[in-house]
A and B are shown apart, each in its own frame.
Chain A
Amino acid sequence: MSSRRPRQSAAPPRITDDQIIELVSKLRQLLPEIRHRRSDKVSASKVLQETCNYVRSLHREVDDLSERLSQLLATIDADSPEAAIIRSLIM
């Protein structure tokens, strides 16, 4: 991110661009797709976009898993330890 000019709306001055860059790179490492490509040319915008998409996909997956666990829970005894586990997983 450029900091050519002081940006009033930007983060407080103590938050430097390097910080942002580092965070973005960390985020990039978490992302499954970009990791495999060259990471030096990925823009922050792309990283953020990928992160949003990834978070959404993870949410979907969580929902899906919760659904499955609920179904599993229904199939086993409510008193079984598995049920407890499942419940814990589902929360």
Chain B
Amino acid sequence: MNHYVSDFEKDDDCAIPTSSTLTRSKRSITSEDEIMELLWQNGQVVVQSQTQMSLKKSQHHKYDNTVLPIEQSTPREIRSSHEQQQHLLMQEDEMAPWLHYPLNDTNFDQDFCADLLYPSTACVTSTTTNTSAAPIRSTHNPEARLHPAVSAATATATATNTATASRPPIPPTRRAEVVQNFAYFSRHRARGGVSESGPSNLKTVLKESTVVDSSDTPAMVSESRISEAAFARSTAGVSSGDNACGIMSGAAVAGTSSRGGGSNNKDLITCEMTVTSSPGGSSASAEPPSQKLATDDRKRKGREDETEYHSEDVEFESTDAKRQLRGSTSMKRSRAAEVHNLSERRRRDRINEKMRALQELIPRCNKSDKASMLDEAIEYLKSLQLQIQMMSMGCSMVPMMFPGIQQYMLPLGMGMGMGMGTEMGMNRPMMPFPNVLAGAPMPTPAAAAHLGPRFPNPTFHMPTIPTPAPDPSRIQATNQSDPMLSAISTQNPNLQHRVLNFSDPYQQYLGLQQTQTPVSQNQAKTRPITSKPGTSQAAENLDNHQSGT
């Protein structure tokens, strides 16, 4: 804030002078119609030709004097306001008048401020309503409309001008426009440092801005200040959903955007800030919220505005229309970038969220970095699959246990048990079972079949050990370990080697020592890959295990 304030002050003077030029340009840009329209929009909805310009000048002084005459004849006021606007714009150094302009300017102020200050009412009401000075709020719309033209003019005049300009030309809903205008406005301000000079105006503006915040009626605030403050407020107001505020906020946003990063905008923003900050008191309350809102808006739009602002600077001078067009281009770009950033951020958030969820599922996962966590997840998933296979097989195998299976199963089971998570010597207690199996019936094909499809074996890429064909001789030789295997394999070849390999992943996963069963270890060794050799080895291992046990 302070920073901005200082900038604001510095830029104030330079900004102001530009406003006047803007006014002129705006006027030129805006044809008679525009001018008239502006006037009308300003608040009085009075379409005045340039004749009013002259009036404006005169009124300009008046404006100076009358801080907030607002409720003056609408057409006249509009005219005067418009003129004043332009006048102010032209008179960059005449910050005071410009500052006062919004205040003094009846129509203008009313419409202008009203819109700004009371964006809700003003914006909604639309231009027609704005015409009447009384409903300052209503003026907001007209102001909005006038905004483009006015903004051009006001831009030179500095924030305040912009405020007025923004009011009329900018349609309440045209935040972007407002922003643009504001951007211009800020630019001008920076250049001319227009209105800032009037601390009183600031105060008034601030007050009004405060009002804006509170009541959404931006119009009240002195244009110069108001515009700034209003913009800030309007952002707040806009937040509240008021179109008028939107305009103001647009300006504020523009201003704030600069705050966000645009140098030019900074000026504007600083102006805003100064405006808000200078009064300090009244608007203080209003300012913070508005500023915050403005900040948010600014951040959102500021970037856009900033780019727009910079690029628009030149254009703005030329034509309001062109300015807006060009601004939109740059704004689009920045907006696109912003959108991209946002989407990227969201994507990352989603991924992180899912990573956390996965971490929750994995037991004993204390890794904090993604890679190791993913590693653990992969291992755990494999072990889980193995476990399920084992269990499924066990479920179906139990009824059809046969002599040899135990030798085979136990080591696996033990390995699995270890892997399952006890990770303690569960296998030890299991050890004693090895030779118990006796006379278990051959696994029924049904059971095997049941076992097979029972659980998914989708990812077992482990090389399928070629199902050893039921090989009685082999069975005999291998100490009856094969029958089970063969039985299993006949039914479900995959199971076989899976079973063989089952304990392995578990052990690996848990990092446990190989089960004391040498079989397990052997299995682990054999796991890789070969089928037959693995099987035979497994059988042999079982044999060894048996003997070992």
Residues of chain A within 8 A of B370, CB atoms compared: 10-11, 15, 20, 23
Residues of B within 8 A of A4 (CB): 344
Which of B358, B387, B398, B436 is close to A51, meaning CB atoms less than 8 Å apart? B358
Q: Which B309-355 residues have a C-beta within 8 angstroms of A? A: 344, 347-348, 350-351, 354-355
Whether B401 contacts A32 by the Cβ 8 Å rule is: no
Q: Which of these, B348, B416, B436, contacts A84 with CB under 8 Å?
A: B436
Q: Which of B369, B378, B380, B394 contacts A26 (CB 8 A)?
A: B378
Contact A87 B384 (CB under 8 A): no
B416 touches A89 (CB 8 A): yes
Q: Across the interface, which residues of B come within 8 angstroms of A82, CB to CB?
A: 398, 401, 406, 437, 440
B-contact 0/1 string along A59-79, CB 8 Å cutoff: 101100110110010001001
Task: Give how many A residues have a beta carbon under 8 Å from the other chain's beta carbons.
Answer: 50
CB pair B433–A52 under 8 Å, yes or no, is no
**Cβ contact of B421, chosen from A11, A55, A91, cutoff 8 A:** A91
Tell yes or no: B366 within 8 A of A by CB. Answer: no
Nearest chain B CB to A8's CB is how many angstroms away?
12
On chain A, the residues within 8 Å of B461 by CB distance are: 29
Tell me how far the C-beta of A26 lies from the nearest C-beta in chain B, rounded to whole angstroms. 5
- From the candidates A23, A32, A80, A89, name the one contacting B459 in the complex (CB within 8 A): A32
A interface majority secondary structure: helix
* Contact mask for chain A residues 10-48; partner B; CB cutoff 8 A; 1 contact, 0 none: 111001000110011011011110010000000011001
Query: Contact between B398 and A86 (Cβ–Cβ < 8 Å)?
Result: yes
Given A80-B436, A89-B394: A11 touches B369 (CB 8 Å cut-off): yes
A85 touches B406 (CB 8 A): yes
Instruction: Count how many pairs of residues, one from A and one from B, have CB atoms less than 8 Å apart in the complex.
Output: 163
Interface assignment of B391: CB less than 8 Å from any CB of chain A: yes
Cα separation A14 to B423 with both chains bound (whole Å): 31
- B133 cross-chain contacts in A, Cβ below 8 A: none
Q: How far is the CA of A29 from the CA of B430 in the complex (A)?
A: 33
In the assembled complex, the Cα of A84 lies from the Cα of B109 at a distance in Å of: 92
Across the interface, name the chain B residue whose C-beta is closest to A19.
Answer: B371
Q: Pick from B348, B385, B409, B458: contact of A1, CB below 8 A.
A: B348
The answer on a CB contact under 8 Å between A51 and B381 is yes
**A49 and B409 contacting across the interface, CB-CB below 8 Å:** no
Q: Which residues of B contact A59 (CB under 8 A)?
A: 361, 384
The CA of A34 and the CA of B436, in the complex, are separated in Å by 43
- Let me know if A69 and B398 touch, CB within 8 A: yes
Contacts of B347 in A (CB 8 A): 2, 45
CB within 8 Å for A55 and B371 given contacts A76-B398, A88-B413, A89-B390 = no
A81 near B344 with CB under 8 A, answer: no
Residue of B nearest to A72 (CB): B398
B374 touching A27, Cβ below 8 Å: yes
Known: A11-B370, A45-B347, A88-B416. 19 other contacts (CB 8 A): A12-B369, A15-B369, A20-B374, A23-B370, A26-B378, A27-B374, A51-B358, A51-B381, A52-B358, A55-B358, A55-B381, A58-B384, A59-B361, A59-B384, A68-B395, A72-B395, A82-B440, A91-B416, A91-B421
Question: 9 smallest A-B Cβ distances: which pairs?
Answer: A88-B413, A81-B436, A84-B433, A48-B354, A65-B391, A23-B374, A81-B437, A81-B406, A32-B458
Q: 16 A-B residue contacts at CB 8 Å?
A: A2-B348, A15-B369, A15-B370, A20-B370, A30-B381, A45-B354, A48-B355, A48-B357, A54-B381, A58-B381, A62-B388, A68-B391, A81-B437, A88-B426, A88-B430, A89-B413
What residues of chain A have their CB less than 8 Å away from a CB belonging to chain B? Answer: 1-2, 4, 7, 10-12, 15, 19-20, 23-24, 26-27, 29-32, 35, 44-45, 48-49, 51-52, 54-56, 58-59, 61-62, 65-66, 68-69, 72, 76, 79-82, 84-91
